[in-house]
Structure 1
Amino acid sequence: MTSQTSDPLDQAMARSQGLDTLLRDLTDRAVGQVPGAAACSVTVRRADRLLTLAGSSGLPSGLDLRQYENGSGPCVDAAETDSPRYSPDLTAETRWPAYTEYALATGVRCVLALPMAVEGETGAALNFYGMEPDSLARGREAARAFAERAADAVNEALRLERQRASAADVRTALLSRSVIDQAVGMLMARERIDAHRALARLRRASQHRNVKLRDLCGELVAQASGGASRGRQ
């Protein structure tokens, strides 16, 4: 079994503070591990739009964007059909004429786009660019293996982000509940009413002022705390 410290993708995951950092690390490492790859990028489909989430340099962003604008190209095909696309020599390529012309002008001669199974995305691809004809031929198997491991790493990062978001939501909910309870208690003591009536008053006031209940309660608690502090001085 490969240890966590020996797998470059696991190392990237361990150092990553979020999905964006991980993706940048993955594209950089892909160029170093796949023979013939001069650049690499990650394409995903979100809300019916294709986006490049990360690239090893500025080169892939322009190449990917031209494909998205035309709705045609190897990255688009790989993300939308879940099938790999390989063009060993763009000078002989006929499938994507507009994209091919642009890519050749940048010096790119060879493209490999591999689909990635990313949870929550309707399409994703890892894209490799070579600067010589058929320069990615020797690295195709390495690229496929890398794409599979990259998908695993991205899915793990997404899972961790969901966990962090869920924990943050819980903390926010608990803080909101605490400040609302404090405001209810203050109103009960001041107006000599029960908790149900105090909460009803606070809700009416929040609706009247068009502010969230927790924000209104936070103001009341802060005002009371400020008054208490001044009273002790």
Structure 2
Amino acid sequence: MPYHNLQSRSLAFAAICQAAYLVDKIANKGLCPDAAAFNASLHSIMRTSGDSPLDIFGGYESLQVGFKSMIEQLDNAGNNRNMQVTKYVIGMIALEKKLSRSSGALNMLGERINQVQRQLAHFDINDDSVLSNLDSIYKDIISNLGPKIQVNGNPASLQQVQTQHKIRALLLAGVRAAVLWRQIGGKRRQLVFSRRAMIHQTKQNLQRV
């Protein structure tokens, strides 16, 4: 893939952070704080071809939530790191690593995503039936790879079926972003040794929104 550069990796990592941030907010509030970011994250699951990272995630504006969350997670100057978001990001990356080693799971995932793509001819990405389908994909294929991501939040919100569907759909989107991040050279050690460069690049990306 021709996008092995800091700019592309920063976009993909911001998409992971965006999914994690939205999971945390929905788990605690029961409502999504940014519908456009939510829809962009879910649409990225459907874009499985070799498009550029910017095309996959729908442009800079679609990742605005992710840019802000990524800066909060990596830039500790303001002590703003949300440890729940950090935990979800680490969990998504760990699940992607398991997924990449299972050709059977990858093939099944491709088939199931194709089913959702056909469903989108009749329904919007945030329709209850589509969210239910994405929820099932995560439970059937991703979650079983282990270790499971434990989502913390408001029990009253987490007991709602629709909330559960949204959270698992976002976790699937986060794993999809982690797939791309790895494919274009993303590695966990970069979060330590290239952190300042990633923060600088992401602040530039935020200015492009």
Tell me the TM-score normalized by structure 2.
0.25
Higher relative contact order (CA 8 A, sep 6+): 2
Higher helix share: 2
Q: Identify the structure with the greater strand proportion.
A: 1
